[in-house]
Each structure stands twice: as C-alpha cells, then as structure tokens.
Structure 1
Amino acid sequence: MILVRTLLAAAALAAGFSSAPALAEKPRDADKAFEATQQGRSMPLPQLERRVMPFMGGADYLGPELNGSTTRMKFMRNGRVIWVDVDGQGRIVRRSRDK
C-alpha cells in the first residue's frame, strides 16, 4: 500500500514538473498589465476607471476585462451592454454603440 502511494505521488510530481515550462512560457494579460503599470507605461485600473466614468453618463459599471494591451470596461444602461476599450494612458480607443 505504501509503495502504491509512493508511486502515485512520484507520478503526480513528475507530471507537474513536465507541464511547468509550458505554463511559464507565455505571460498572461494580467501579468503584462501588472508589468506595464510597474514600469510606468500604464495607469493602475482604479485610475483608468476614474478617467472613464465621467463619460458614461450614469451607466452602471459592471467591471473590467484585460484585452491584450487595452482594458475593456463593461457598462449597462437601459438593459443594453456598452463596451469601452481604454489604452494604458486612459484614452478611450473604442466604444460600442448603446443606442
């Protein structure tokens, strides 16, 4: 019984080590955004949100999504979803129609 547990643990450990390099190769959007913020190339999310909110005319803010080099913010007004893409400097690059 102990031998079986030891073999299972060794197999699980080996599987974890073999998949680790594949996971480490490609940085996630969140990691890229964090790095850009740390290097001063992008504003922190709360600051981006404060920049966009005044342009949304009372729409409800539902939250952000990282979308490559932009942050996509989701709003809702009168039952319609509005997507706003913002670059790292807080400029609105794209906005879906809400009419």
Structure 2
Amino acid sequence: MNLVLTALSGLLLSAAAPEPTAQRGDQAAASAARREGRILPLAEIQRRVIPAMQGAKYLGVDFDSGTAVYTLKFLRDGSLIWVMVDGRSGNVIGRSR
C-alpha cells in the first residue's frame, strides 16, 4: 500500500510541476511589464483578490505574459478555485466554480 501511495504521489508531483523554462520566461516577462508600467505589481493584485476569497486558502499564482493575465489559485472545501485577473487593470475577468 505504501509503495502505491509513493508512486501516486510521485506521479501527481511530476504532473503538477511547471516547466522551468516556461516559468522563468513568464517571470521575466512579468517583471519587465511591471517595470515598464504595463501591468500592476503582483502584490497589488493579491491585495485586491485575496481578501475577497474568505474561507479559501491561497495557493499561489501564475502569469501569462501573452495575455497579461494573473491566475490566482485557491483551495476551499477540497475544491480548487482559479481567479483570473487582468494584469493591466486589476479587474477580475473570470473565475472557476
């Protein structure tokens, strides 16, 4: 049983792990866009969204440099919730669940 759980854990972790080069590329793009004033800083996005997600645990964020969309991830009652935020305006533009 422990061997099965260990194998499943390894599969889940490897499937969920981001591609290192893609992550670095989006981080660099987000930093450049923020410095140039094209998007809001992540801290500002978090200040706007996290308090509105009462009862949910904040898990982290992804940034899509092509669309300038931050996707904040939350966990509430065993369900994942994604909140998509326009990085230029700070407006919530979508939400799962």
TM-score range, shorter chain: 0.5 to 0.7
**Any gaps of 5 or more consecutive residues in structure 1?**
1-22
Contact 1:74–1:82 under 8 Å retained in 2: yes
Q: Which residue of 2 aligns with 1:90?
A: 90
Matches within 5 A, 1:1-99: 28-68=25-65, 69-88=68-87, 89-97=89-97
Gaps of 5+ in 2: 1-20
Shift of residue 58 of structure 1?
A: 2.4
User: Aligned-pair RMSD on alpha carbons?
Assistant: 1.8
In the TM superposition, structure 1's runs of 4+ consecutive aligned residues that sit over 3 Å from their partners are: none
* Mapped partners of 1:53, 1:32: distance in 2: 23
TM-score of the aligned structures, taking structure 1 as reference length? 0.65
Partners of 2:74 and 2:48 in 1: how far apart?
Answer: 14
Provide the secondary structure at the position in 2 that maps to 1:41.
coil
Alpha-carbon distance, 1:67 to partner: 2.4
| Greater Rg over alpha carbons, structure | 1
What are the superposed Cα offsets for residues 1-38 of structure 1, whole Å, 9 maximum, x if unpaired?
xxxxxxxxxxxxxxxxxxxxxx9xxx922222111100
Q: In the alignment, is the contact (CA less than 8 A) between 1:74 and 1:81 conserved in 2?
A: yes
Partner of 1:40: helix, strand, or coil? coil
